[in-house]
Chains A and B, each alone.
Chain A
Amino acid sequence: MHRIDCPWCGVRDEAEFSYRGDATVKRPPADGGAEGFYAYVYDRTNPKGWHVEWWHHVAGCRQFLKVVRHTVTHEIRSVAKATDEVAAPPA
């Protein structure tokens, strides 16, 4: 039961959020081509370790948050706003 420190709402329980997967994939510009848009939707690293991912605070501020979380220990290292740059976590 993760606790996510929402930048706007404070520390909240996982139950207030909805998951939206890998946040490192970037939507290509409009002329990005078939391969770019394929990768945006389907190509995933699926790390066993630190993962940068989207959590949507649906029961709170309705903002998407960029969370760095470990996929084995479930430790949360950082929570950032959608537009913040997040440093690549250690491998």
Chain B
Amino acid sequence: MTQTHRLAQGGRIDRSRTLSFTFDGRRYEGHPGDTLASALLASGERLVGRSFKHHRPRGIVTAGPEEPCALVELRSGARREPNTRATVAEIYDGLEATSQNRWPSLAFDVSAINQLVGRFLPAGFYYKTFMWPASFWEKVYEPIIRRAAGLGRAAMAPDPDEYESMHAHCDVLVVGSGAAGLAAARAAGAAGARVIVADQDFELGGGLLLEPEQEPWRQGMLAALSGMPEVRLLPRTTVFGFYEHDVLGAVERVADHLPVPPEHGVRQRVWTIRARQTVLATGSTERPIAFPNNDRPGVMLASAAMTYVRRFGARPGERAVFFANNDIAYDAAFALHHAGVSVAAIIDVRKKDSKRAAAAADRGIAVKLGSVISDVKGGRNVHGVSFRTANGSVERVLDADLLCVSGGWNPAVHLQSHTRARPIWNNDLAAFLPGKPVQAERSAGSAAGVFGIAHCATDGAKAGREAAAALGFRDGAAFELPAPDAEVDPRVKPFWEVKAKGKAFVDLQNDVTADDIRLAHREGYTHIEHAKRYTTHSMATDQGRFSGILGTAVLAEARGETIETVGVPTFRPYVTPVTWGAMAGRHAGHHLQPVRRSPLHPWHVRNHGIFLETGLWMRPLYYSATRETGWDPILKEARAVRQAVGICDVSTLGKIDIQGRDAGILLDRLYTNTFSTLAVGKARYGLMLREDGIMFDDGTTSRLSEHRYLMTTTTAKAAEVLAHMEFYHQTVWPELDVRYCTVTDQWAQMSVAGPKTRLALQGCVEGLDLSNEAFPFMGVCDATVAGCPVRLYRVSFSGEMAYEVATPAGYGERVWEAILAAGRPHGILPYGLEALGLLRIEKGHVAGPELNGQTTARDLGFEKMLKKKGDYVGRVNAERPALVAPDRPRLVGIRAVDPSFEKRLRGGAHIVDRPDSKASLGWATSITRSVELERWLGLAMIRNGPERIGQRLYATYPLKNEVVEIEVCSPHHVDPENLRVRA
């Protein structure tokens, strides 16, 4: 396609290079500096999409990110990006764009048939129907509605691009780089402040980019700012949210203007900016007027038409008509005229002759005062407009292929509104202006209702100076401001809607008409938030930035109240929608959470450990060179422990070093049992409760010296236990003389267990008599292994004779391998989490599934560990009546009656007294295949559990339609007298 509508000269595009791109499969050309929208317009393309509900043809209505209509799918394959605004997308060579929400094609969209029944589909129609027959909503209506929903299509493959996040601190953040923003930045920078300037555009300058005679000033300012080391310029960066404590979020489109990001580069970057002061120089956006068929391709904002001409050298039409209620729109008409576009007329709502009408007449442009556009001719393309006097009935038609509309200007107050500042209505501009700041910010330029480049620059410089001064910086060197231009009167005659036959749209993407707003009011949805939700006005991708105020105006008229009273729907982040990937940053895929590895991790990897990824730790479940699955490798490891000796990495258990004169007292108050009386060189199993009396954690704590203990916790609760200790010591018993810190990562710890453990360890432990007499159960001793210092704790989780060997983390692998070598003649095997679990379940030790935050010490059979004398955390609340009720589920063992492997018991099964009973008596907490008893068995919480020992009950698992007969027994399936651990 040739660039039929490219102006011979002018614009900021680089005509020396030509880029080629496709839209709906057709090839077009453009230049660097073009957006997709400008390049399409330059080739005479106007039809770019279809509206959401009625599938009406849609064109390009703005030249900025508030664009509600020209949304396309950009790129293809894994990089496809739906709902991309053509007005912002910079073209590159080879760009692919596709129109959305139409089938089979943009020109002939079958769903446009919706328009024929449009009158029966007003706002909220779906609340009043689709209810009969009852089953049809889900089976018939909803699937149809869902298929029609949405605009673009997501990519169906993982995103190949990368993102990152940055944190920045600055003294002054300037949002916007127009005349006000550049002046604010320079003033603040000159005063010595650290400044960040962010602008969503790829070129800095804002409105200056439309004024060729301001180019020298713009370039001078940018050169000066670039030369200031404490000033950072961020183009292509949208500040999307203003959060509390003066944090702002911004997203930088680092590589969206390139086919693919550079190697090792990111596509987008999110900035979290802490700005001590912010200057909102966000400008203002023009707003339309509602009139019949104001949605046709070829109808656009007057400033957009001017932008395409002045900035992009593209002619959005051949013959234009303007419709306006203000003087500024005349500048746009004159710009088009100057560029050779025929401007047939300016239809001006105002009755009084403004000075501009004369300037128009000089250019041969007719001005029709006191007149309104009453209709637009053309479906997929405007070809004419009709107009009349405001209250007249005689309509005249003008040939035109471009209708440029200006209803006035809305200062961009969105960011300020995020801070809960309330915008203030201004009658002269008929717009909301920024209100009294709540956070450390001020607005400048047209964002503050100041118009004209020179005025904006002055206003911006003042804002920059004041922002810096508020932080204690003194004014810096003055700089030149732009020459004052011809005075422009920004006042408008408020005008929102032409009442005439036909659909007048107040939200172009969601097809909401002025009549829809009136209907909402009629039905009582008359608060702006109700009207918005009922009609979906302002809920499209532009979130009301384009024409939100029109809905308010229509509603205000229906209510007989002012726009100020009615208000606009709350502005919330994100000012322009932000990519999910950018917000996720580097934490994609495996980087969602950090990984914690035991000091022995490299050994596990080399020796075919199969890892569990749950929580942050990587822990070997079992070892298998062939990566076999199922129970065999686990049973093999567990058998080795029961019959010979095994070694397991338990480094992940929490370890806390506690020192001080009152260490024992603190432990007495945290544990349900007593530790101040524990002998030096001994370990003791302890229980901790939460203050509400529920079991919190268990562990083994050893006394290393008179004033030193080493506490262990479960892996999962290590951090919480330390915090718990800190809370109680610091806030309840600060008088206790005690210090503590975590040493979890400092120690490698391995459990060596099995009847041959002593034999194995005697082969490698030096300096210690390992006989039962010298080193009984629950003792703690220091020794050496392979020249490394170790501490042995004679504790057992598995129920076999066992020692936990702890060594400083760096020596872990050396000690582990020494024990393995010494154990080899005795058949030692490494065992993982699964075997560890199997063994402890057989033994009847409680763990996570029993300590689930809902059970008490009594529930788990630990009444005897609740000391009678002395206070401890949870003591009183544990006695609450419902927590000591006799019929609470309590811990017992259960065993399958039928020993076959196929009749599985499963954790999570409920216990019932008859196979068909629905009355749950409890549930199975931990189940394993047993190596000692060769059947399924485990632990369960059952009402009156201990009294039921010997009874036959059933484990029912309705999720798999399984019922298995069980026998209730002691939880200690293996060695209930503890002979093995004391051997």
The answer to the question of B917 belonging to the interface, with a C-beta cut-off of 8 Å to chain A, is: no
CB of A37 within 8 A of CB of B723, answer no
Interface residue from A34, A40, A56, A63 paired with B691 (Cβ < 8 Å): A40
CB of B243 within 8 A of CB of A1, answer yes
Taking the nearest CB of chain B, how far is it from the CB of A16, in angstroms? 13
CB of B247 within 8 A of CB of A37, answer no
CB of B692 within 8 A of CB of A41, answer yes
Interface size class of B (residues with CB under 8 A): 20 to 34
CB of A74 within 8 A of CB of B245, answer yes
Interface residue from B692, B732, B734, B880 paired with A34 (Cβ < 8 Å): B880
CB of A41 within 8 A of CB of B727, answer no
Name which of B35-43, B287-295, B832-840, B871-879 contacts chain A: B871-879
CB of A1 within 8 A of CB of B244, answer yes
Interface residue from B244, B691, B876, B879 paired with A74 (Cβ < 8 Å): B244
The answer to the question of B731 belonging to the interface, with a C-beta cut-off of 8 Å to chain A, is: yes
Instruction: List residues 225-246 of chain B with CB under 8 A from any CB of chain A.
Output: 243-245
Across the interface, which residues of B come within 8 angstroms of A74, CB to CB? 244-245
Q: Which residue of B lies closest to A83 (CB)?
A: B734
CB of A63 within 8 A of CB of B730, answer yes
CB of A32 within 8 A of CB of B731, answer no
How far is it, in angstroms, between the C-alpha of A33 and the C-alpha of B879 when the chains are bound? 11
CB of A18 within 8 A of CB of B734, answer no
Query: Residues 719-737 of chain B: 1 if any A CB is under 8 Å from the residue's CB, otherwise 0?
Result: 0000100110011101000
The answer to the question of A3 belonging to the interface, with a C-beta cut-off of 8 Å to chain B, is: yes
How far is it, in angstroms, between the C-alpha of A37 and the C-alpha of B874 when the chains are bound? 9
Across the interface, which residues of B come within 8 angstroms of A54, CB to CB? 727, 731
Taking the nearest CB of chain A, how far is it from the CB of B737, in angstroms? 14
Once A41-B691, A56-B726 are accepted as A-B contacts, the answer to whether A3 and B731 lie under 8 Å apart by CB is: no
Across the interface, which residues of B come within 8 angstroms of A33, CB to CB? 876
The answer to the question of A2 belonging to the interface, with a C-beta cut-off of 8 Å to chain B, is: yes
How far is it, in angstroms, between the C-alpha of A83 and the C-alpha of B732 when the chains are bound? 9
Interface size class of A (residues with CB under 8 A): 20 to 34
Across the interface, which residues of B come within 8 angstroms of A32, CB to CB? 876
Could you count the A-B residue pairs with CB atoms below 8 Å apart for me: how many are there? 52
Once A1-B244, A3-B245, A30-B871 are accepted as A-B contacts, the answer to whether A18 and B877 lie under 8 Å apart by CB is: no
How far is it, in angstroms, between the C-alpha of A2 and the C-alpha of B67 when the chains are bound? 35
Candidate in B730, B734, B879 with the most chain A CB atoms within 10 angstroms: B730
Instruction: List residues 12-54 of chain A with CB under 8 A from any CB of chain B.
Output: 18, 20, 23, 27, 30, 32-34, 36-38, 40-41, 54
Q: Which residue of A lies closest to B872 (CB)?
A: A30
CB of A27 within 8 A of CB of B732, answer yes
Across the interface, which residues of A come within 8 angstroms of B692, CB to CB? 41
The answer to the question of A62 belonging to the interface, with a C-beta cut-off of 8 Å to chain B, is: yes
Interface residue from B726, B727, B877 paired with A38 (Cβ < 8 Å): B877
Taking the nearest CB of chain B, how far is it from the CB of A48, in angstroms? 15
Across the interface, which residues of A come within 8 angstroms of B245, CB to CB? 1-3, 74
Taking the nearest CB of chain A, how far is it from the CB of B670, in angstroms? 13
How far is it, in angstroms, between the C-alpha of A64 and the C-alpha of B725 when the chains are bound? 11
CB of B723 within 8 A of CB of A58, answer yes
Instruction: List residues 857-910 of chain B with CB under 8 A from any CB of chain A.
Output: 870-871, 875-877, 879-880
Across the interface, which residues of B come within 8 angstroms of A38, CB to CB? 877, 880
Q: Which residue of A lies closest to B880 (CB)?
A: A34
Instruction: List residues 685-741 of chain B with CB under 8 A from any CB of chain A.
Output: 691-692, 723, 726-727, 730-732, 734, 741
The answer to the question of A86 belonging to the interface, with a C-beta cut-off of 8 Å to chain B, is: no
Taking the nearest CB of chain A, how far is it from the CB of B885, in angstroms? 16
Across the interface, which residues of B come within 8 angstroms of A18, CB to CB? 723
How far is it, in angstroms, between the C-alpha of A73 and the C-alpha of B60 when the chains are bound? 41
Q: Which residue of B lies closest to A26 (CB)?
A: B732
Interface residue from B247, B726, B877 paired with A41 (Cβ < 8 Å): B877
CB of A64 within 8 A of CB of B726, answer yes
Across the interface, which residues of A come within 8 angstroms of B691, CB to CB? 27, 37, 40-41
Interface residue from B727, B741, B871, B879 paired with A56 (Cβ < 8 Å): B727
Taking the nearest CB of chain B, how far is it from the CB of A51, in angstroms? 16
CB of B243 within 8 A of CB of A34, answer no
CB of B731 within 8 A of CB of A64, answer yes
How far is it, in angstroms, between the C-alpha of A38 and the C-alpha of B882 when the chains are bound? 14
How far is it, in angstroms, between the C-alpha of A41 and the C-alpha of B731 when the chains are bound? 14
Query: Residues 1-12 of chain A: 1 if any B CB is under 8 Å from the residue's CB, otherwise 0?
Result: 111000000000
How far is it, in angstroms, between the C-alpha of A62 and the C-alpha of B742 when the chains are bound? 11
Across the interface, which residues of A come within 8 angstroms of B875, CB to CB? 30
CB of B732 within 8 A of CB of A37, answer no
Across the interface, which residues of A come within 8 angstroms of B879, CB to CB? 34
Q: Which residue of B lies closest to A42 (CB)?
A: B692
Q: Which residue of A lies closest to B722 (CB)?
A: A62
How far is it, in angstroms, between the C-alpha of A27 and the C-alpha of B734 when the chains are bound? 13
How far is it, in angstroms, between the C-alpha of A20 and the C-alpha of B726 when the chains are bound? 12
CB of B880 within 8 A of CB of A64, answer no
Across the interface, which residues of A come within 8 angstroms of B741, CB to CB? 62
Across the interface, which residues of B come within 8 angstroms of A3, CB to CB? 245
Taking the nearest CB of chain B, how far is it from the CB of A86, in angstroms? 12
Taking the nearest CB of chain B, how far is it from the CB of A4, in angstroms? 11
Taking the nearest CB of chain A, how far is it from the CB of B692, in angstroms? 5
CB of B732 within 8 A of CB of A1, answer no
Interface residue from A23, A37, A63 paired with B877 (Cβ < 8 Å): A37
How far is it, in angstroms, between the C-alpha of A58 and the C-alpha of B724 when the chains are bound? 12
Across the interface, which residues of B come within 8 angstroms of A20, CB to CB? 727
Across the interface, which residues of B come within 8 angstroms of A36, CB to CB? 876
CB of B876 within 8 A of CB of A82, answer no
Q: Which residue of B lies closest to A72 (CB)?
A: B420
Taking the nearest CB of chain A, how far is it from the CB of B151, in angstroms? 33
Q: Which residue of B lies closest to A58 (CB)?
A: B723
CB of B871 within 8 A of CB of A64, answer no
Taking the nearest CB of chain B, how far is it from the CB of A57, in angstroms? 10
Q: Which 3 A-B residue pairings sit nearest by Cβ, starting from the closest?
A: A30-B871, A37-B876, A82-B730
Apart from A1-B245, A64-B731, A82-B731, what 18 extra A-B contacts exist at CB < 8 Å? A1-B247, A3-B245, A23-B731, A30-B875, A33-B876, A34-B876, A36-B876, A37-B691, A38-B880, A41-B692, A56-B726, A56-B727, A62-B741, A63-B726, A64-B727, A74-B244, A82-B730, A82-B734
8 A-B pairs with CB atoms under 8 Å apart are A1-B247, A3-B245, A23-B731, A30-B875, A41-B692, A56-B723, A64-B726, A82-B734
